[in-house]
Amino acid sequence: MAEELPGTNVAAGAAAGDAYPAAGQALLRIEGVAKSFGTFRAVDGVSLDIRAGEFFALLGPSGCGKTTLLRMLAGFEAPDEGRILLGGKDIAQALPHERPINMMFQNYALFPHLSVRDNIAFGLKRAGMARAEISARVAEMVALVKLEGLEKRKPDQLSGGQRQRVALARALARRPQLLLLDEPLAALDKKLRENTQGELMELQRRLGMTFIIVTHDQEEAMTMASRIGVMKSGKLAQVAPPRELYEAPRSRWIAEFVGDINLFDAESRLRDGHRLVVGTRDAGPLVVAEPREPVGEARFSVAIRPEKVKLSRRGPVSEAGHEAAINRLDGVVADICYLGGTTTYKIKLDTGGMLQASVVNSARIDVDAYSLSQHVVAWFTPDDCVVLPS
């Protein structure tokens, strides 16, 4: 296939005749899918649309069902309930080899008795491709993942990063409509992981393929994915782009799972124009922006990310008219956690609660750094607060 050079949309060439949805349209539709193991409901009624060409991340703690959901997409588990539609066709009960979906395994699952070349060619041979065509495709894949010169090696003669590339090349070789990646970077060290994240994103963009990645690493999900589905106890807790997930989490649990956050339980509230004045036990009265979705009578919390909290010795610089609206909390530094780029201070508030503040170390010689037991003023604006149902 001379016209299929690396960089062309290989997915579109997957199978002639198969209608491949245009970018942005739903490629995969998961409808009310559930799966139980014994009495344990691993996946509990998940519905989700994956759009063609997107990089979707399933994020969740271990045991939340994200891997089970992925395995149902690959065909290694059959859902007890629900439908999985790929391009309009229900594939929920189809066997793995009958699906135009390929998976990259967490431990790579490279065949130890086969060379790099034969590993990549494995799926092509099964597809009944001609010999010359296989050679061409393997060469293309090897170039794509930059493994030139290693074709004859066995997996145990490769480094971790190289194995990861072989696994990727093998999964991509059949030009699946959908690529599933199960914790693809978990086995790599931090530096290599960061580089590989970038490469995977680049590759996905270039091929225009649809990727679904499963990860427990929220930073990884935030970095790579265009949308993230957070799973908890077999259910999808929230599906949103990374920024929305971080800045507008739908629940207290998501807010705590994704990044660090300060949470204060609200005890009372008063409406003040577009704002709410919320009484909290640990931080006193706080002024917050009124949430888009009105909070019912139920209990709720006020959440504020540590990096949104500013610290100073004397309090916020007055901005005409805004002074009254700014939350100002007095306290002393109780703990200092120096992280290089930032420093996280734990402030013991005079009202009794604890508040985390993350400060960027913008100067090398920081004469303004706070010391333990120092009295500080922490402040933040109403818009930086998020109101969450408890």
List residues binding another protein (CB under 8 A): 74-76, 95-97, 101-103, 105-107, 109-113, 122-123, 126-127, 154-157, 170-171, 174
- According to DSSP, residue 65 is labeled S
Residue 144 or 355 with smaller CB distance to another protein: 144
Residue 114 beta carbon to another protein: minimum distance, rounded to whole angstroms:
9
In angstroms, rounded to a whole number, what is the distance separating the alpha carbons of residues 32 and 48?
A: 8
Sign of CA dihedral 195, 198, 201, 204: negative
Residue 119 or 327 with smaller CB distance to another protein: 119
Pairing of strands 210-215, 81-86: unpaired
Tell which residue, 144, 129, 133, 117, has the closest CA to residue 1: 133
Residue 107 beta carbon to another protein: minimum distance, rounded to whole angstroms:
6
Residue 105 or 253 with smaller CB distance to another protein: 105
Residue 155 CA to chain centroid, in angstroms?
A: 29
Residue 287 beta carbon to another protein: minimum distance, rounded to whole angstroms:
53
Residue 80 beta carbon to another protein: minimum distance, rounded to whole angstroms:
15
Sign of CA dihedral 237, 238, 244, 249: negative
In angstroms, rounded to a whole number, what is the distance separating the alpha carbons of residues 163 and 147?
A: 10
- Answer yes or no: are the C-beta atoms of 35 and 7 closer than 8 Å: no
Residue 121 or 266 with smaller CB distance to another protein: 121
Residue 173 or 286 with smaller CB distance to another protein: 173
Residue 153 beta carbon to another protein: minimum distance, rounded to whole angstroms:
8
Residue 209 beta carbon to another protein: minimum distance, rounded to whole angstroms:
16
Token digits of residue 53: 């060409």
Residue 47 or 107 with smaller CB distance to another protein: 107
* Other beta carbons within 10 Å of 80: 15
